[in-house]
Chain A
Amino acid sequence: MCGIVGLFLKDPSLEAALGRMLTDMLVTMSDRGPDSAGIAIYSEAVEDRAKITIQSAHPDQDFAALEADFKSTFQQSLALQRKNSHAVFEIAQNQVGELRARIRRAHPGIRVMSTGDNIEIYKDIGLPKSVAERFDIPLMKGTHGIGHTRMATESAVTTMGAHPFNTGPDQCLVHNGSLSNHNSLRRQLQREGVVIETENDTEVGAAYLTWKMQNGSSLGEALQSSLDDLDGFFTFVVGTKDGFGVLRDPIACKPAVMAETDQYVAFGSEYRALVNLPGIADAHIWEPEPATVYFWTH
C-alpha cells in the first residue's frame, strides 16, 4: 500500500495554510501505511542562503557538536531551528560543500534530510498525525509540499527508510509500490560512485533520478527513462524547487487521483485525501494515465 499526498498552490492566499492542509490530507491516508511518515515542504528562499534539514537519534549532543564545529570552521554561529529529532538552518551557498563534508567525516550520527534553497524534509517512524505534530508541520507555510505514509515492504522500518527521499538540491521523491530490480540497480549505481545509504528500494529510485540528472537529463527526461530502467510497481510523486510531478508505471495498479482548481493542483492515493480541500466539489478530478509524466510549475 503506502499513501501519497501532494499539494501545489497556485493561489498565494492559501500558502499560510499549506502545512495544515497537507497534514489533513496525509492523516486521511494513515490506514494505507502505519510504519513511518514524512513531509517535504517548499517555502520562500532567502537570497544566497542554502537551507539544510538534518536529523539525529541523539540530537542534543550531535547538534551541539555540529554547532561547535561550524563556529570553529567559519567563525560564525549556526542558527539551528530545532524541531524534535530534526533541525533546519540556513547557511551561505559557498559553505554547503564544506559543511556536508564535515558532517560526513566528523558527525556520523547526523543525517542530512534535505538540501536546497526552499525544501525542508521531516520524516520519522509513526503514524502521520504523530509525525506531523512532532515537527509542527500544521504550522508551516509554503508554496507546495508532498507527504507520504509508508507500509514497509522492501526494507526495514527506520527513519532513513521513510519517504520523501531528497534526490538533489530542492528535489524529492515519494513512492507507492515496490521496485523489483533495486538490488542490481543499486550495485550498478554504486559502481558509478553514487552513495546509497539504505537497503530501501525507493532510495535507489531516488539515486537513479539524481544520477540521471547529474549526467545531463532534465527531471522530466529522468522520469521518462525510469520507465525503461526501473522494474516493478510505482506511482511516483516528485517535488522540485518550483513545482511537482507525477508518474505511474505502465501497469498503473498503484492508485492515484488528481484534482485541479484555480487555487491548486492536488494529488492523493485516494479521493478521500482530497475531500476537505476548498472548492473540491467543483474541481476537475481525474486519474493520471499510466506511463505519462505530469508536471506543474510556478
Chain B
Amino acid sequence: MQIIDLDQTDLRQANAQLQNQNTATKLTAWQILNPKGAHAIAVGLDAPIDVTVEGSTGYYCAGMNKQARLRINGSVGPGVAENMMSGTVIIEGDASQYAGATGHGGLLVIKGNASSRCGISMKGIDIVVHGNIGHMSAFMGQSGTMVVCGDAGEALGDSLYEAKLFVRGAVKSLGADCIEKEMRPKDLAEVQALLERAESTAKPSEFKRYGSARKLYNFDVDHAGDY
C-alpha cells in the first residue's frame, strides 16, 4: 500500500505520483490521507490502480479519470469525476454540483445525495446515486445511464438526447422533451447490473424509466417555445 499524506506531501507532487503510474504498474494500491477539502485530488489518472481517499475533498476530485478505481471515504465538492473516461469512482458521502459532468465512460457511484446538475451533458458515463439528485440533472445527456434510488429535483433530463434515466422516488418535474417510458425486461436487467456494481440492494422493479421524446433533436418552428 502506497500512502500519501497531504499534510506532508504537496498536492501537485501527490497527483504527479499517481499520474506517473501506467498499465504495467505494480504499485496498484494507494491511500490518500488528510484531503481536508483540497481541490483536484487524484485527477487525470490513467492506470488500473485502486485509490482510497480518507476524508472529504473539494472541487474536481477524480476528474478525467481513466482506468483507476477510486473510493472517497467522505463527501466531495463540485465536479467530481468530471469528464471521466473509464474506471470507477465511489463516493461514500454526498456530492456537490455537476457530479460526473460530461463523463464519457466508467461508473460513478454516490452513496449519499448529489446536488444540482448531476450528470449534466453525460456522454456515456454510468451514474448510480443511492440518495437524491438536485435540479437540472442529466441536462442534455447524450448517452450513458443514470440510476437514482431517491428523488430527482426540478427539470430532470431537460433537452435530453439518448442518456437513459431511472428514478425510484419522486421526480419534482421533467425538463423539456423528457418523458416517462415503459420499463422493459432489458431495462430491469441493466438497472439490476448497475445496482449490484454500485453496492446497492434496491429492487429494479421499483424504478421508473425516463428518456427523450426526441422532439427537440432538430429545430422545428412548431416547438420554438420549448427550446
Contacts and interface: CB of A to CB of B under 8 A. Distances in A.
Interface of A: 250-253, 255, 257, 270-275, 285-287, 289-290
B37 A271 contact: yes
Given A252-B116, A287-B96, A275 B36 contact: yes
Interface string B60-88: 00000000000000010110000000000
Contacts of A251: 116
A18 to B, nearest CB: 21
B58 A286 contact: no
B54 to A, nearest CB: 11
B37 A287 contact: no
Contacts of B77: 255, 270-271
Given A255-B77, A287-B96, A270 B37 contact: yes
A274 B75 CA distance: 13
Interface in B99-152: 115-116, 134-135
A147 to B, nearest CB: 17
A286 B135 contact: no
Interface of B: 36-38, 56-59, 75, 77-78, 93-94, 96-97, 115-116, 134-135
The 9 closest A-B pairs by CB, nearest first: A272-B37, A271-B37, A275-B36, A287-B115, A271-B56, A275-B37, A270-B58, A252-B116, A272-B58
Given A270-B77, A271-B56, A255 B97 contact: yes
B75 A271 contact: yes
12 contacts: A251-B116, A252-B134, A255-B77, A255-B96, A255-B97, A270-B77, A271-B37, A271-B58, A271-B75, A272-B36, A275-B56, A285-B75
A143 B68 CA distance: 46
Contacts of A271: 37, 56-58, 75, 77
A55 to B, nearest CB: 33
Given A255-B97, A287-B96, A272 B38 contact: yes
B62 to A, nearest CB: 16
Nearest to A256: B96
Contact of A290 (B57, B78, B94, B135): B135
Contact of A253 (B37, B93, B94, B97): B97
A274 B37 CA distance: 9
Max count, chain B CB within 10 A of own CB: residue among A255, A285, A287, A289: A287
Contacts of B115: 252, 287
